[in-house]
Chain A
């Protein structure tokens, strides 16, 4: 009995599915693989921050001012070890970083997903209709991309004001153009291929051709752009929050933690801004490494 089930399980594994091949290609680069697992860890921390944090840094009943400005590794009066030290209000820095990752990653991913949907819809529209629609959309994209992201974000923030919703709107408006351009470029190439012609010959509806045939084939470059853009969005949000024009104090992202540390750094409390920065750095670097490897794996021209 056991023999049969073993065979039954082992057999399908030998068939090389595209997903399988993709995974083994991806695992070729050991650094990217490590980055991938680090990223998984970060996502885990972000999701389960309230469960795994040693203390709740925003529960005023538990935070004690007597624990403030403790160096990394010191113990509090209740015998809780502050592995990364505490800030000026006596909050455990490690817990603050966990909560900060949750906010930074949340804002970055949410804005990325919205920008991806809007940008790809607009890009598909440009590629599909062509003509004046295409020219107009691509002119807007070109003009927006000729300004650096931080400047566009600052313009939007100074017009929109502060707040979580405002910063997400700003990040979406900064990013949509990258997606639109990528999707349009790929869709224009894919549109002329035989499978689209075949689908048209089958008299499938336009919607079906665009969303079931064209869009899935535009996905590989889109995935690469999405990873890189998410890293950018996280970095941009941190920068804006550091400047004090991003997320409000009630939503302390990593950028805000670093900004808080900046104020006390000159008195030698290096850890308050050092460790949140390291967390931000690890997040961005691991996303970028995964993105780089995805680009190599998903682009057939680069394969040896």
Chain B
């Protein structure tokens, strides 16, 4: 067990190291750091001074060590646009993104599971076919376009919901959150639903497959034979069993929600870290890009590591297979 965890930890460290190398190469070798880091109006002496300060006159491997050393101390440079520490700017935006992703995850379960169970109970009924067609559409529709259409219908035509921003926030333990205010919830409804759409489709499929399988199991037959009502059979016995794969998959998908929030945040002008990244790419604000990439890789590596460890605890075959390789 501990061998498995150590192996996985080492692998994660390697991934982070490789990513830092790729990002470093991207910024310093593919692109020209002098053009990116120095004000174009600066004169020759100023340029020479900055090159010396940034260590750009030194060999490449020394530059990389310098970058790593600073990164480990939490210094990924200052944003050109905001003039503040890039890392601090990203961390300030994390709560907004995580909040949106959490609400989207919750929506995926609340909307997806009942629809999937209905579709699984009577696979040939018209209602089930409509649900499954909807799920295929959910997979095929480009997220950003659905977001636009939502804004067009609910914000422009009907005027029910606000289309941009986060609304009122309250401070909980020093973190600003919007889901505790009515205005914040109104702002959150559309972006969260938009982000959840793909996951709702996924949950519908999982829940449907699970229900179809469970309906033929002995425990369901036994529960019915005991004279339990159909509602109780479904709500208690079937639901409990199909939730295991749903929860596992959604845990894995949390990271992808954070990655996809880049799109949703751009459509709804949600002030999260994804929006910050896109703005930074437009403004060529390199330190922000580097900081975002390093943070998101770290988040992913941690999520994957946790899921792997959890899996190996739940299913011994995973770690045995890995040890055998």
For the complex, give the distance between the alpha carbons of A261 and B144 in Å. Answer: 12
Cβ of B277 within 8 Å of any chain A Cβ, yes or no, is: yes
Is A285 a contact partner of B26 (Cβ separation < 8 A)? no
Distance from A38 Cβ to chain B, minimum over Cβ atoms (Å): 13
A158 contacts B30, C-beta separation under 8 Å: no
Q: Which of B139, B260, B267 contacts A150 (CB 8 A)?
A: B260
Q: How far is the CA of A258 from the CA of B263 in the complex (A)?
A: 13
Q: Which of B14-46 contact A (CB under 8 A)?
A: 15, 19, 22-23, 25-27, 30-31
Choose the segment among B73-81, B146-154, B165-173, B312-320 that binds chain A (4+ C-beta atoms closer than 8 Å). B146-154
In the complex, the answer to whether A284 meets B136 with C-beta atoms within 8 Å is no
| B-chain residues with CB within 8 Å of residue A148 when the two chains form the complex | 255-256, 259-260
Contacting residues, chain B, for A280 (C-beta < 8 A)? 142, 145
B30-A160 in contact (CB<8A) = yes
Total number of residue pairs linking A and B with CB closer than 8 Å: 108
A262:B148 contact, CB within 8 angstroms: yes
Residues of B within 8 A of A238 (CB): 142, 144-145
**What's the tally of chain B residues with a CB closer than 8 Å to chain A?**
44
Query: A245: which of B11, B140, B281 is its contact (CB, 8 Å)?
Result: B281
> Which one of A39-47, A92-100, A263-271 is at the B interface?
A263-271
Contact present for B137 and A239 (CB under 8 Å): no
Does any Cβ of B come within 8 Å of A243's Cβ?
A: yes
User: Nearest residue in B to A281 (C-beta to C-beta)?
Assistant: B141
Given contacts A146-B300, A245-B278, whether A258 and B325 have CB atoms under 8 Å apart is no
Per-residue B-contact encoding for A261-304, CB less than 8 Å = 1, 0 else: 11001101010011001001100110010000000000000000
Q: State A280–B296 Cα separation when bound (angstroms).
A: 29
Residue of A nearest to B26 (CB): A159
Pick the residue among B11, B31, B148 that contacts A265 (CB under 8 A). Answer: B148
Contact pick for B300, options A147, A157, A158, A262, CB 8 Å = A147
Q: Does A73 sit within 8 A of B, measured CB to CB?
A: no
Tell whether A179 is near chain B: CB-to-CB under 8 Å.
no
Q: Check A288–B277 contact: CB distance below 8 A.
A: no
How many Å lie between the Cα of A270 and that of B151 in the bound state? 10
The answer to whether A143 touches B15, judged by C-beta atoms less than 8 angstroms apart, is: yes
Q: Which listed residue, A155, A159, A265, touches B30 by the CB 8 Å rule?
A: A159
Q: What residues of B have a CB within 8 angstroms of the CB of A159 in the complex?
A: 22-23, 25-27, 30
Q: Check if B304 is an interface residue, CB within 8 A of chain A.
A: yes
From A160, A161, A277, contact of B148 by CB (8 A) = A277
CB closest chain-B residue, reference A287: B140
Within 8 A of B (CB), among A135-182: 135, 139, 143, 146-148, 150-151, 154-155, 157-161
A-B contact pairs, 29 of them (CB 8 A): A135-B325, A147-B255, A150-B263, A151-B296, A151-B300, A154-B262, A157-B281, A158-B26, A158-B281, A159-B23, A159-B26, A160-B26, A161-B31, A238-B142, A238-B145, A242-B145, A243-B144, A245-B278, A261-B148, A266-B151, A266-B163, A268-B156, A273-B145, A273-B148, A274-B152, A277-B145, A285-B136, A285-B137, A288-B139
Interface residues of A (CB under 8 A from B): 135, 139, 143, 146-148, 150-151, 154-155, 157-161, 231, 235, 238-239, 242-245, 258, 261-262, 265-266, 268, 270, 273-274, 277, 280-281, 284-285, 288
